[in-house]
Structure 1
Amino acid sequence: MTVVILIVLAAVALFALAWWSSGRRSPSARGPMASRDAADAEARAMGQYRPPPGPGPLGGPGGT
């Protein structure tokens, strides 16, 4: 029983470490989309968001 508890604690510790370290990396380390997503979020907050070109949600018109 003690072994099971130690394994669960180790798994939780590894998960927590991975989650914590994932937020500490630069945007480029999280992939090419992360910096664009951050820019989109910032533009939305400032009221200047323009959707990307292409089909819109549910097949509606896209951006310009």
Structure 2
Amino acid sequence: MGKYHTIQSSKGEKCLICEQNKLEGIHLFQSFICLECEREIINTKTNDPKYQYFVYQMAKVRILQERRQA
């Protein structure tokens, strides 16, 4: 497992998945995914309805990346 990043700001950083400010997580490109969501994504089966939600939320990474490059 990779290193988790602890956010220095007391407010944390907004998670791409749950959209809440959290203090610990990982960065995927320039997007932040909190520790709780990352663990839930890993443990979710593909036939679980939550899986589609995670796929939808993760698709935002591409959109955000394209906007940053424009």
User: Could you state the TM-score of these two structures normalised by the residue count of structure 2?
Assistant: 0.29
The structure with more helix, counted as a fraction of residues: 1
Higher RCO, 1 vs 2 (CA within 8 Å, ≥6 residues apart) = 2
The structure with more strand, counted as a fraction of residues: 2
User: Could you state the TM-score of these two structures normalised by the residue count of structure 1?
Assistant: 0.31
